[in-house]
């Protein structure tokens, strides 16, 4: 079951990624307005209908997906790099440096993630250009998400530094840089890769939460979070169920990333 689930999730992810990339050649732009089709129901021309400004919802979902698939991994890369740096230094040097780094990590981990995000977001300007708002949103995600992976990285560095082969390499007179590049970094890779894949769905969800709260990517740029915000003006689920499509795609994409990275024993 786990293997089948993983394969299905990976397959859906590939399809979503292809659709997101393929939408670059989509005949309808995500920002093009059709004044004759405001709030239109699904049709052959608009498979997911249009929004209150007459924009094609399918084109916008694919555009939002492209943004999430591009920037969530970029933010996860930043978090993982910061985690490797901070966790690595803490584990390598130990002592006071380790205690300070881990106290900072404790603080970041103990604060609820969304609260931390909105607090730091509040300090930054809210009335910025859409492109800057994308940068600010995902840069914040990347810069604030280092704590949990850093704890894992630090534990791994400590374990490697105490291992027999590492001690032997040191006893043989291997220098610090060579120790780091040849013996530490390659063994840290799998742990960091796992942390990267854990961060990606978390960042996609966080962007959605921020978008729904009005603190995410600004209009007219499209993000899945910003599209989900459209739901908050609806009073009923039954009148226009197709507007749930962006939320459905968001949950499906996030769940697929989650399932695709699962190990056999983890489901």
Partner 1 sequence: MWVRFAALQIARVLLITLIAGLLGAALVRFSPGFDVDERDLDTRLSSASHAADAEARAGERNLLSFYGQWLLCALHGDYGNSRAMNRPVGELIRERLPLTARTMAVGGAIGLLAGFLGAAAAVWKRSRLMENILGPGNGLLLAAPPAVVALLFLWLNIDPALAIAAAVSPYVFRYAHNLLRESASSAHVVTARARGLGEGRIFLAHVFVPALPQLAALGGIVASVAFGAAIPVEVICDRPGIGQLAWQAAVARDMPVLVAITMLVTALILVVNAAAEIALAGVSTEAA
Interface with partner 1 by CB under 8 A: which residues? 1-2, 5, 103-104, 106-107, 110-115, 118-123, 125-126, 201, 205, 208-209, 212-215, 228, 231-232, 234-237, 247, 250-252, 254-255, 258-259, 262, 267
Least separation in angstroms between residue 247's CB and partner 1 is 5
Based on CB atoms, which residue is closest to partner 1, 9 or 63? 9
Residue-wise DSSP of 14-67: HHHHHHHHHGGG-SS-TT-B-TT-TTPPP-SSSTT-B-TT-BBHHHHHHHHHHH
Nearer to partner 1, 8 or 167 (CB): 8
At closest approach, how far in Å is the CB of 4 from partner 1?
10
Nearer to partner 1, 141 or 184 (CB): 141
Query: What are the residue ranges of helices labelled H in 111-182?
Result: 113-123, 130-144, 147-161, 164-171, 176-178
In the complex with partner 1, the residue whose CB is nearer, 28 or 109, is 109
Shortest distance (Å) from residue 179 CB to partner 1 = 32
CB of 27 to partner 1, least distance (A): 30
**Is the separation of the CB atoms in 211 and 223 below 8 Å?**
yes
Helix axis angle for 130-144 and 57-93, nearest 10°, is 30
**C-beta closer to partner 1: residue 101 or 160:** 101
Contact (CB, 8 A) for 260 and 11 = no
Q: Judge contact between 208 and 246, C-beta under 8 A.
A: no
In 3D, which of 143, 200, 190 has the Cα closest to residue 17? 200
Q: At its nearest, how many Å lie between partner 1 and the CB of residue 201?
A: 6
């Amino acid at each position: 079951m786990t293997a089948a689930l993983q394969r299905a999730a990976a397959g859906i992810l590939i399809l979503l990624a292809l659709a997101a990339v393929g939408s670059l050649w989509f005949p309808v732009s995500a920002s093009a307005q059709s004044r004759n089709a405001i709030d239109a129901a699904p049709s052959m021309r608009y498979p997911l209908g249009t929004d209150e400004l007459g924009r094609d919802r399918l084109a916008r979902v694919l555009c939002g997906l492209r943004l999430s698939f591009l920037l969530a991994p970029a933010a996860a890369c930043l978090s993982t790099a910061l985690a490797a740096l901070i966790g690595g230094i803490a584990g390598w040097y130990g002592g006071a440096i380790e205690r300070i780094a881990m106290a900072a990590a404790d603080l970041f981990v103990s604060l609820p993630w969304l609260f931390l995000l909105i607090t730091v977001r509040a300090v930054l300007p809210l009335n910025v250009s859409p492109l800057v708002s994308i940068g600010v949103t995902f840069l914040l995600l990347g810069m604030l998400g280092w704590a949990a992976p850093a704890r894992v990285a630090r534990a791994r560095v400590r374990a490697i530094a105490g291992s027999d082969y590492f001690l032997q390499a040191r006893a043989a007179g291997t220098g610090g840089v060579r120790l780091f590049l040849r013996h530490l970094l390659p063994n840290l890779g799998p742990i960091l890769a796992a942390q990267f894949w854990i961060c990606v769905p978390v960042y996609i969800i966080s962007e959605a939460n921020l978008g729904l709260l009005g603190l995410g990517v600004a209009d007219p740029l499209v993000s899945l979070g910003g599209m989900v915000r459209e739901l908050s003006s609806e009073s009923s689920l039954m009148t226009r169920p197709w507007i749930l499509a962006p939320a459905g795609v968001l949950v499906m994409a996030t769940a697929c990333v989650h399932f695709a990275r699962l190990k056999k024993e983890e489901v």
